[in-house]
Structure 1
Amino acid sequence: MNNHKKDVKTKYDTLGSKLYDLRYSEEQYEKYVCILNEISDDGLVLDNGCGTGLLFSLLESTVIGIDLSGNLLRKAKGRLKKNHHLIEGDSENLPFRDSIYETVISVTVIQNLSNPKKLSSESIRVSKKDATIIISSLKKVYSKEEIKRIIDNKELVIKKIFTKEKINDWITISNRK
Protein backbone atom coordinates (compact mmCIF):
# COMPACT_ATOMS: atom_id res chain seq x y z
CA MET A 1 0.00 0.00 0.00
CA ASN A 2 1.49 3.35 -1.02
CA ASN A 3 1.71 6.33 1.34
CA HIS A 4 -1.29 8.10 -0.20
CA LYS A 5 -3.51 5.05 0.35
CA LYS A 6 -2.21 4.67 3.92
CA ASP A 7 -3.07 8.31 4.59
CA VAL A 8 -6.61 7.90 3.20
CA LYS A 9 -7.16 4.68 5.16
CA THR A 10 -5.90 6.32 8.37
CA LYS A 11 -8.11 9.37 7.77
CA TYR A 12 -11.29 7.32 7.46
CA ASP A 13 -10.36 4.83 10.18
CA THR A 14 -9.70 7.77 12.52
CA LEU A 15 -12.83 9.67 11.47
CA GLY A 16 -14.88 6.77 12.77
CA SER A 17 -18.19 5.43 11.59
CA LYS A 18 -20.43 7.50 13.88
CA LEU A 19 -18.79 10.76 12.86
CA TYR A 20 -18.79 9.66 9.20
CA ASP A 21 -22.54 9.01 9.27
CA LEU A 22 -23.25 12.20 11.21
CA ARG A 23 -21.17 14.26 8.82
CA TYR A 24 -22.11 12.70 5.47
CA SER A 25 -25.31 10.60 5.66
CA GLU A 26 -27.84 13.28 4.70
CA GLU A 27 -25.97 14.36 1.58
CA GLN A 28 -25.06 10.77 0.66
CA TYR A 29 -28.76 9.82 0.74
CA GLU A 30 -29.53 12.75 -1.59
CA LYS A 31 -26.94 11.37 -4.04
CA TYR A 32 -28.32 7.84 -3.72
CA VAL A 33 -31.85 9.01 -4.55
CA CYS A 34 -30.50 10.52 -7.80
CA ILE A 35 -28.55 7.35 -8.52
CA LEU A 36 -31.42 4.95 -7.84
CA ASN A 37 -33.45 6.67 -10.55
CA GLU A 38 -30.74 5.63 -13.02
CA ILE A 39 -30.37 1.91 -12.25
CA SER A 40 -32.50 -1.21 -12.17
CA ASP A 41 -32.65 -3.08 -8.90
CA ASP A 42 -31.61 -6.43 -10.29
CA GLY A 43 -28.31 -8.01 -11.11
CA LEU A 44 -25.05 -7.81 -9.22
CA VAL A 45 -24.09 -4.36 -7.90
CA LEU A 46 -20.65 -3.18 -6.76
CA ASP A 47 -20.61 -0.33 -4.23
CA ASN A 48 -16.99 0.72 -4.69
CA GLY A 49 -16.03 2.81 -1.66
CA CYS A 50 -19.08 1.75 0.35
CA GLY A 51 -18.02 3.45 3.59
CA THR A 52 -20.55 2.63 6.31
CA GLY A 53 -22.94 0.96 3.86
CA LEU A 54 -25.54 3.71 3.61
CA LEU A 55 -26.55 2.53 0.12
CA PHE A 56 -27.33 -1.01 1.33
CA SER A 57 -30.64 -0.07 2.94
CA LEU A 58 -31.88 1.25 -0.42
CA LEU A 59 -31.07 -1.77 -2.60
CA GLU A 60 -32.72 -5.19 -2.69
CA SER A 61 -30.35 -6.61 -5.30
CA THR A 62 -27.16 -8.48 -4.49
CA VAL A 63 -24.55 -5.89 -3.50
CA ILE A 64 -20.84 -6.26 -2.88
CA GLY A 65 -19.40 -3.36 -0.91
CA ILE A 66 -15.68 -2.65 -0.90
CA ASP A 67 -13.81 -0.06 1.14
CA LEU A 68 -10.26 0.61 2.29
CA SER A 69 -11.36 1.48 5.84
CA GLY A 70 -11.89 -1.48 8.14
CA ASN A 71 -13.47 0.84 10.70
CA LEU A 72 -16.17 2.01 8.28
CA LEU A 73 -16.77 -1.57 7.13
CA ARG A 74 -17.47 -2.65 10.72
CA LYS A 75 -20.35 -0.14 10.78
CA ALA A 76 -21.50 -1.30 7.33
CA LYS A 77 -21.69 -4.88 8.62
CA GLY A 78 -24.67 -3.84 10.76
CA ARG A 79 -26.57 -2.67 7.67
CA LEU A 80 -26.17 -5.84 5.62
CA LYS A 81 -29.07 -7.84 4.30
CA LYS A 82 -28.62 -11.52 3.46
CA ASN A 83 -27.67 -10.69 -0.15
CA HIS A 84 -25.11 -8.00 0.76
CA HIS A 85 -21.41 -8.69 1.28
CA LEU A 86 -18.34 -6.70 2.32
CA ILE A 87 -14.67 -6.76 1.34
CA GLU A 88 -11.83 -4.64 2.66
CA GLY A 89 -9.95 -3.62 -0.46
CA ASP A 90 -8.58 -1.07 -2.87
CA SER A 91 -10.74 0.84 -5.39
CA GLU A 92 -7.79 1.19 -7.75
CA ASN A 93 -7.05 -2.56 -7.77
CA LEU A 94 -10.38 -4.34 -7.43
CA PRO A 95 -10.09 -7.98 -6.32
CA PHE A 96 -12.71 -9.25 -8.80
CA ARG A 97 -12.80 -11.11 -12.09
CA ASP A 98 -13.53 -9.22 -15.29
CA SER A 99 -17.10 -8.57 -16.49
CA ILE A 100 -19.20 -9.66 -13.50
CA TYR A 101 -21.22 -6.60 -12.39
CA GLU A 102 -24.39 -5.16 -13.98
CA THR A 103 -23.94 -1.93 -12.00
CA VAL A 104 -20.85 -0.28 -10.50
CA ILE A 105 -21.40 2.66 -8.15
CA SER A 106 -18.62 4.80 -6.71
CA VAL A 107 -19.83 7.79 -4.71
CA THR A 108 -17.38 10.50 -3.61
CA VAL A 109 -14.32 8.26 -3.86
CA ILE A 110 -12.41 9.40 -6.94
CA GLN A 111 -10.93 12.53 -5.33
CA ASN A 112 -9.30 10.34 -2.64
CA LEU A 113 -7.33 8.26 -5.14
CA SER A 114 -3.71 8.72 -6.17
CA ASN A 115 -4.64 7.68 -9.74
CA PRO A 116 -8.25 8.79 -10.39
CA LYS A 117 -8.31 7.39 -13.96
CA LYS A 118 -7.78 3.93 -12.46
CA LEU A 119 -11.25 4.09 -10.87
CA SER A 120 -12.82 4.38 -14.31
CA SER A 121 -10.67 1.65 -15.88
CA GLU A 122 -11.26 -0.75 -12.97
CA SER A 123 -15.02 -0.05 -13.05
CA ILE A 124 -15.03 -0.90 -16.75
CA ARG A 125 -12.93 -4.02 -16.23
CA VAL A 126 -15.26 -5.55 -13.61
CA SER A 127 -18.52 -4.54 -15.31
CA LYS A 128 -20.41 -6.47 -17.96
CA LYS A 129 -21.14 -5.15 -21.44
CA ASP A 130 -23.89 -2.49 -21.25
CA ALA A 131 -23.48 -2.21 -17.47
CA THR A 132 -24.29 1.07 -15.76
CA ILE A 133 -21.30 2.80 -14.18
CA ILE A 134 -21.94 5.69 -11.81
CA ILE A 135 -19.07 7.78 -10.48
CA SER A 136 -19.48 10.92 -8.39
CA SER A 137 -16.85 13.48 -7.52
CA LEU A 138 -16.70 16.52 -5.27
CA LYS A 139 -17.31 19.69 -7.28
CA LYS A 140 -14.74 21.54 -5.18
CA VAL A 141 -12.04 19.12 -6.39
CA TYR A 142 -12.98 18.61 -10.05
CA SER A 143 -14.90 20.75 -12.52
CA LYS A 144 -17.49 19.09 -14.75
CA GLU A 145 -15.00 19.13 -17.63
CA GLU A 146 -12.22 17.63 -15.48
CA ILE A 147 -14.37 14.75 -14.22
CA LYS A 148 -15.49 14.04 -17.80
CA ARG A 149 -11.86 13.95 -18.94
CA ILE A 150 -10.85 11.69 -16.03
CA ILE A 151 -13.55 9.06 -16.53
CA ASP A 152 -13.63 9.23 -20.32
CA ASN A 153 -12.62 5.92 -21.87
CA LYS A 154 -13.10 4.32 -25.30
CA GLU A 155 -15.07 1.52 -23.61
CA LEU A 156 -17.49 3.92 -21.92
CA VAL A 157 -20.43 5.99 -23.12
CA ILE A 158 -21.06 8.93 -20.81
CA LYS A 159 -24.84 9.46 -20.80
CA LYS A 160 -24.93 12.48 -18.51
CA ILE A 161 -23.11 14.47 -15.88
CA PHE A 162 -25.27 16.40 -13.44
CA THR A 163 -25.64 17.84 -9.97
CA LYS A 164 -28.52 19.01 -7.80
CA GLU A 165 -28.98 21.79 -5.28
CA LYS A 166 -28.24 19.82 -2.08
CA ILE A 167 -25.42 17.81 -3.62
CA ASN A 168 -21.75 18.82 -3.60
CA ASP A 169 -20.83 16.28 -6.31
CA TRP A 170 -20.87 15.86 -10.04
CA ILE A 171 -22.70 12.59 -10.73
CA THR A 172 -21.74 10.80 -13.94
CA ILE A 173 -23.96 8.14 -15.46
CA SER A 174 -22.25 5.97 -18.06
CA ASN A 175 -22.65 2.65 -19.82
CA ARG A 176 -19.96 0.20 -20.72
CA LYS A 177 -19.78 -0.51 -24.44
Structure 2
Amino acid sequence: MENKKEQSQTAFDRQASRYDTTCYSRHPRALYPRLLRQIEKLQPTDVLDLGCGTGALLAEIARLCPTARLSGLDLSAAMLAVAEKQLQDKAELIQGDSEALPYADCAFDLIVCCDSFHHYPNPEAAARQLHRCLKPGGRLLIGDTTMPPLLRQLMNFTFRFSSEGDVRLYSQKEMRALLSDYFQDVQWRRISPSSYILQGTVRK
Protein backbone atom coordinates (compact mmCIF):
# COMPACT_ATOMS: atom_id res chain seq x y z
CA MET A 1 0.00 0.00 0.00
CA GLU A 2 2.99 2.34 0.31
CA ASN A 3 2.95 2.27 -3.47
CA LYS A 4 -0.47 3.95 -3.41
CA LYS A 5 0.98 6.83 -1.38
CA GLU A 6 3.79 7.21 -3.88
CA GLN A 7 1.28 7.14 -6.73
CA SER A 8 -0.86 9.82 -5.08
CA GLN A 9 2.16 12.01 -4.43
CA THR A 10 3.40 11.66 -8.01
CA ALA A 11 -0.03 12.26 -9.53
CA PHE A 12 -0.74 15.39 -7.49
CA ASP A 13 2.77 16.75 -8.01
CA ARG A 14 2.13 16.43 -11.73
CA GLN A 15 -1.30 18.08 -11.55
CA ALA A 16 -0.47 20.87 -9.11
CA SER A 17 0.33 23.74 -11.48
CA ARG A 18 -2.96 23.40 -13.36
CA TYR A 19 -5.15 21.66 -10.78
CA ASP A 20 -7.40 24.62 -10.00
CA THR A 21 -8.13 25.48 -13.63
CA THR A 22 -8.80 22.04 -15.10
CA CYS A 23 -11.19 19.11 -14.65
CA TYR A 24 -9.00 17.76 -11.84
CA SER A 25 -10.64 20.13 -9.35
CA ARG A 26 -14.21 19.83 -10.61
CA HIS A 27 -15.39 17.28 -8.06
CA PRO A 28 -13.83 18.81 -4.93
CA ARG A 29 -14.96 22.31 -5.91
CA ALA A 30 -18.52 21.04 -6.25
CA LEU A 31 -18.29 19.99 -2.60
CA TYR A 32 -16.99 23.34 -1.32
CA PRO A 33 -20.34 25.17 -0.95
CA ARG A 34 -21.80 22.34 1.17
CA LEU A 35 -18.69 22.10 3.33
CA LEU A 36 -18.44 25.85 3.76
CA ARG A 37 -22.05 26.15 4.90
CA GLN A 38 -21.35 23.68 7.69
CA ILE A 39 -18.06 25.37 8.60
CA GLU A 40 -19.75 28.77 8.80
CA LYS A 41 -22.32 27.35 11.23
CA LEU A 42 -19.60 25.83 13.41
CA GLN A 43 -17.32 28.91 13.47
CA PRO A 44 -14.29 26.84 14.53
CA THR A 45 -11.19 28.37 16.12
CA ASP A 46 -8.57 25.76 15.12
CA VAL A 47 -9.00 24.08 11.72
CA LEU A 48 -7.02 21.42 9.86
CA ASP A 49 -7.65 20.84 6.17
CA LEU A 50 -6.38 17.30 5.66
CA GLY A 51 -5.33 16.82 2.05
CA CYS A 52 -5.44 20.58 1.52
CA GLY A 53 -4.03 20.50 -2.03
CA THR A 54 -3.65 23.98 -3.52
CA GLY A 55 -5.22 25.67 -0.49
CA ALA A 56 -8.37 26.72 -2.35
CA LEU A 57 -10.70 25.48 0.40
CA LEU A 58 -8.52 26.96 3.13
CA ALA A 59 -8.71 30.34 1.39
CA GLU A 60 -12.51 30.16 1.59
CA ILE A 61 -12.40 29.09 5.23
CA ALA A 62 -10.12 32.06 5.99
CA ARG A 63 -12.75 34.35 4.49
CA LEU A 64 -15.57 32.81 6.56
CA CYS A 65 -13.62 32.45 9.81
CA PRO A 66 -11.08 35.31 9.80
CA THR A 67 -9.94 34.76 13.39
CA ALA A 68 -9.49 30.97 13.13
CA ARG A 69 -6.05 29.39 13.24
CA LEU A 70 -5.75 27.43 9.98
CA SER A 71 -3.50 24.50 9.15
CA GLY A 72 -3.16 22.44 6.00
CA LEU A 73 -1.46 19.11 5.38
CA ASP A 74 -0.81 17.40 2.08
CA LEU A 75 1.35 14.59 0.73
CA SER A 76 2.31 16.60 -2.36
CA ALA A 77 5.07 19.20 -2.08
CA ALA A 78 4.05 20.71 -5.42
CA MET A 79 0.47 21.20 -4.23
CA LEU A 80 1.74 22.88 -1.07
CA ALA A 81 3.93 25.21 -3.10
CA VAL A 82 0.81 26.42 -4.93
CA ALA A 83 -1.03 26.71 -1.62
CA GLU A 84 1.75 28.83 -0.09
CA LYS A 85 1.45 31.35 -2.92
CA GLN A 86 -2.32 31.45 -2.65
CA LEU A 87 -2.59 31.65 1.12
CA GLN A 88 0.46 33.76 1.97
CA ASP A 89 0.48 33.74 5.79
CA LYS A 90 -3.15 32.72 6.33
CA ALA A 91 -2.35 29.08 7.20
CA GLU A 92 0.44 26.87 8.45
CA LEU A 93 1.19 24.31 5.73
CA ILE A 94 3.01 21.02 6.29
CA GLN A 95 3.88 18.12 4.02
CA GLY A 96 2.76 14.94 5.75
CA ASP A 97 0.81 11.72 5.92
CA SER A 98 -2.76 11.13 7.14
CA GLU A 99 -1.59 8.06 9.03
CA ALA A 100 0.96 9.97 11.14
CA LEU A 101 -0.29 13.51 11.64
CA PRO A 102 2.48 15.84 12.91
CA TYR A 103 0.23 17.63 15.40
CA ALA A 104 -0.28 17.50 19.15
CA ASP A 105 -3.20 15.69 20.74
CA CYS A 106 -6.40 17.78 20.86
CA ALA A 107 -4.96 20.41 18.52
CA PHE A 108 -8.11 21.18 16.49
CA ASP A 109 -11.82 21.70 16.97
CA LEU A 110 -12.50 20.96 13.29
CA ILE A 111 -10.79 18.70 10.78
CA VAL A 112 -12.10 18.89 7.23
CA CYS A 113 -11.16 16.41 4.52
CA CYS A 114 -12.33 17.15 0.97
CA ASP A 115 -11.99 14.54 -1.79
CA SER A 116 -8.98 12.98 -0.07
CA PHE A 117 -10.17 10.12 2.15
CA HIS A 118 -10.49 7.67 -0.77
CA HIS A 119 -6.72 7.97 -1.30
CA TYR A 120 -5.79 6.67 2.17
CA PRO A 121 -4.29 3.15 2.11
CA ASN A 122 -4.94 2.63 5.83
CA PRO A 123 -8.22 4.40 6.67
CA GLU A 124 -8.32 2.89 10.17
CA ALA A 125 -4.97 4.51 11.00
CA ALA A 126 -6.22 7.79 9.55
CA ALA A 127 -9.37 7.59 11.71
CA ARG A 128 -7.24 7.07 14.85
CA GLN A 129 -5.16 10.11 13.95
CA LEU A 130 -8.22 12.26 13.31
CA HIS A 131 -9.57 11.24 16.72
CA ARG A 132 -6.25 11.96 18.45
CA CYS A 133 -5.88 15.44 16.99
CA LEU A 134 -9.41 16.65 17.72
CA LYS A 135 -10.38 18.37 20.95
CA PRO A 136 -13.19 16.91 23.09
CA GLY A 137 -16.37 17.70 21.23
CA GLY A 138 -14.39 18.47 18.08
CA ARG A 139 -15.95 17.86 14.67
CA LEU A 140 -14.91 15.87 11.62
CA LEU A 141 -16.24 16.99 8.25
CA ILE A 142 -15.61 14.82 5.18
CA GLY A 143 -16.71 15.42 1.60
CA ASP A 144 -15.79 12.68 -0.83
CA THR A 145 -16.59 10.53 -3.81
CA THR A 146 -18.94 7.57 -3.83
CA MET A 147 -20.96 5.66 -6.42
CA PRO A 148 -24.04 3.42 -6.54
CA PRO A 149 -23.17 -0.12 -5.34
CA LEU A 150 -22.36 -1.90 -8.60
CA LEU A 151 -20.41 1.00 -10.03
CA ARG A 152 -18.58 1.47 -6.73
CA GLN A 153 -17.51 -2.17 -6.77
CA LEU A 154 -16.29 -1.81 -10.34
CA MET A 155 -14.34 1.35 -9.52
CA ASN A 156 -12.74 -0.28 -6.48
CA PHE A 157 -11.64 -3.18 -8.65
CA THR A 158 -10.11 -0.87 -11.27
CA PHE A 159 -8.28 1.12 -8.58
CA ARG A 160 -6.02 -1.90 -8.10
CA PHE A 161 -4.55 -1.18 -11.51
CA SER A 162 -4.65 2.62 -11.38
CA SER A 163 -1.51 4.73 -11.11
CA GLU A 164 -3.34 7.77 -9.68
CA GLY A 165 -3.26 6.65 -6.05
CA ASP A 166 -7.00 6.03 -5.60
CA VAL A 167 -7.60 3.28 -3.03
CA ARG A 168 -11.31 2.80 -2.29
CA LEU A 169 -14.74 4.42 -2.59
CA TYR A 170 -16.92 3.82 0.47
CA SER A 171 -20.61 3.29 1.14
CA GLN A 172 -22.44 4.92 4.03
CA LYS A 173 -22.31 1.64 5.96
CA GLU A 174 -18.56 1.29 5.43
CA MET A 175 -17.81 4.86 6.55
CA ARG A 176 -19.93 4.46 9.67
CA ALA A 177 -18.13 1.21 10.50
CA LEU A 178 -14.72 2.83 9.98
CA LEU A 179 -15.46 5.79 12.22
CA SER A 180 -17.81 4.37 14.87
CA ASP A 181 -15.10 3.65 17.46
CA TYR A 182 -13.86 7.24 17.29
CA PHE A 183 -16.85 9.42 16.42
CA GLN A 184 -20.45 9.71 17.55
CA ASP A 185 -23.49 11.35 15.99
CA VAL A 186 -22.17 10.45 12.55
CA GLN A 187 -24.34 11.95 9.82
CA TRP A 188 -23.87 10.82 6.21
CA ARG A 189 -25.71 12.53 3.39
CA ARG A 190 -25.45 11.80 -0.31
CA ILE A 191 -25.50 15.09 -2.18
CA SER A 192 -25.16 13.77 -5.74
CA PRO A 193 -24.85 10.35 -7.43
CA SER A 194 -21.07 10.66 -7.02
CA SER A 195 -20.55 12.48 -3.71
CA TYR A 196 -21.43 12.63 -0.02
CA ILE A 197 -20.89 14.77 3.06
CA LEU A 198 -20.17 13.19 6.46
CA GLN A 199 -20.08 14.84 9.88
CA GLY A 200 -19.17 13.37 13.23
CA THR A 201 -18.31 14.45 16.78
CA VAL A 202 -15.19 13.04 18.38
CA ARG A 203 -15.51 10.51 21.21
CA LYS A 204 -13.25 11.28 24.18
Mark yes or no: TM-score above 0.5. Answer: yes
| Alpha-carbon spacing, 1:58–1:20, altered in 2? closer, same or farther (3 Å) | closer
Say which is worse superposed, 130-139 or 44-53, in terms of deviation.
Answer: 130-139
Do residues 169 (structure 1) and 195 (structure 2) align? yes
DSSP 3-state at the match of 1:164: strand
Q: Given residue 4 of structure 1, which amino acid in structure 2 is its aligned partner?
A: K
154, 157, 163: which one pairs with 2:184?
Answer: 157
RMSD: 2.0
DSSP 3-state at the match of 1:95: coil
CA distance in 2, matches of 1:56, 1:137: 17
Residue of structure 2 in register with 1:43 after alignment? 45
Say which is worse superposed, 77-86 or 94-103, in terms of deviation.
Answer: 77-86
CA distance in 1, matches of 2:35, 2:47: 13
57, 60, 68: which one pairs with 1:58?
Answer: 60
| Alpha-carbon spacing, 1:162–1:54, altered in 2? closer, same or farther (3 Å) | same
Say which is worse superposed, 56-65 or 96-105, in terms of deviation.
Answer: 56-65
* Stretches of structure 2 lacking an aligned partner (at least 5 in a row): 63-67, 148-168
* Stretches of structure 1 lacking an aligned partner (at least 5 in a row): none
Q: Given residue 15 of structure 2, which amino acid in structure 1 is its aligned partner?
A: L
**CA shift digits 1:37-68 (9 cap, x unpaired):** 22323311000000111112211322100000
The percent identity for this pair of structures is 26
61, 80, 93: which one pairs with 2:87?
Answer: 80
Q: TM-score, normalised by structure 2?
A: 0.78
Do residues 98 (structure 1) and 105 (structure 2) align? yes
Higher helix share: 2
Say which is worse superposed, 144-153 or 71-80, in terms of deviation.
Answer: 144-153
**CA shift digits 1:118-172 (9 cap, x unpaired):** 222111100000011112332032222122222222x31133101223x732211
| Alpha-carbon spacing, 1:42–1:26, altered in 2? closer, same or farther (3 Å) | same
Ranked by relative contact order (alpha carbons within 8 Å, sequence separation 6 or more), the top structure is 2
How far residue 117 of structure 1 moved from its aligned partner, in angstroms, is 1.7
Residue of structure 1 in register with 2:176 after alignment? 148
Q: TM-score, normalised by structure 1?
A: 0.88
Q: How many pairs were matched up?
A: 175
How far residue 69 of structure 1 moved from its aligned partner, in angstroms, is 0.4
- Which protein is bigger by CA-based radius of gyration? 2
